[in-house]
Amino acid sequence: MAMLEVKNLGISFGGLRAVDDFNLSIEQGQLYGLIGPNGAGKTTIFNMLTGVYKPTDGKIFLDGEDITGKSTIEINKEGIARTFQNIRLFSDLSVLDNVKAGLHNQKEYEYSTLTGILRLPRYHQAEKAMNEKAMELLKVFELDGEADYKASNLPYGKQRKLEIARALATNPKLLLLDEPAAGMNPNETKELMETIHFVRDNFHMTILLIEHDMKLVSGICEKLTVLNFGQVLACGETSDVLRNPEVVKAYLGE
């Protein structure tokens, strides 16, 4: 059984059919790319997968469970986390607190408001556990030395890493990355590719990413789906898809 199974997904905004009859099947541990020209519907698909938009048609299954139409919080608890095209960190919070924010969806770190106000033992216990877990994640991304920095003071490449660390803090099965290399220089992109590989291998993560940087796509994605005008133009092994004449014509512009 595929980890993520999307069947006949569609959404309309007024008269605009932004995504139509979209199908996708991703296996556990796969590194999967979703590509296509600007406005093809890629982010809209992420928004449906994460509960931001309710699909007009179709179904989404995560590990066999129907998650179609659930809220963003419910879907995150079910195991889907994402990053955004424009980095969305809590820019005034510290690097550590950004990762801790991701941990709050888990029962083991929960405490009531009253427990927090009164600083009861459960508060100290949960905070200590969260600090340890968050520092562990920051170490993985070599951000532990900057744990007390304001998130907005990190250089761009590190902010991207922090966003991934925060998404991983929610303990997902599936990680969605929306244009992770956007705005990066070639060195940052190279490092990002290593980070994505590392996350997949060390966290046994399944990753679906949207990306325009073809070097990144061909370098790390095992399978690809190409979207054009809201519909699937091609899907399959990355090297086959990138040689597909229709894909070359519609997307690569050669």
Name the DSSP class of 248: I
Query: Hey, is 7 helix, strand or coil?
Result: strand
d(CA 129, CA 109): 7
The residue within the footprint of ligand ATP, chosen from 6, 9, 31, 42 (CB under 6 A), is: 42
Q: Does 82 contact ligand ATP by CB under 6 A?
A: no
Q: Which amino acid is at 37?
A: P
Residue with tokens 């920051």: 138
Stretch that binds ligand ATP, among 37-45, 57-65, 69-77, 141-149 (CB under 6 A): 37-45
Q: Does 39 contact ligand ATP by CB under 6 A?
A: yes
Find out whether 162 and 150 touch, Cβ atoms under 8 Å.
no
Q: Which is nearer to ligand ATP, 13 or 198 (CB)?
A: 13
Q: Does 36 contact ligand ATP by CB under 6 A?
A: yes
Size of the site for ligand ATP (CB under 6 A): 11
Q: At what angle do helices 95-103 and 156-169 cross, to 10 degrees?
A: 20
Least distance (Å) between residue 26 CB and ligand ATP: 18
Q: Does 44 contact ligand ATP by CB under 6 A?
A: yes
Least distance (Å) between residue 244 CB and ligand ATP: 18
Q: Going by C-beta distance under 8 Å and a sequence separation of 6 or more, which residues neighbour residue 193?
A: 216, 219, 220
Q: Going by C-beta distance under 8 Å and a sequence separation of 6 or more, which residues neighbour residue 127?
A: none
d(CA 232, CA 186): 29
Least distance (Å) between residue 213 CB and ligand ATP: 12
- Binding-site string for ligand ATP from residue 12 to residue 31, where x marks contact by CB under 6 A and - marks none: -x--x-x-------------
- Binding-site string for ligand ATP from residue 188 to residue 227, where x marks contact by CB under 6 A and - marks none: ----------------------------------------
CA dihedral for 200, 139, 149, 195, sign (positive or negative):
negative
Interface contacts to ligand ATP, rule CB under 6 A = 13, 16, 18, 36, 38-44
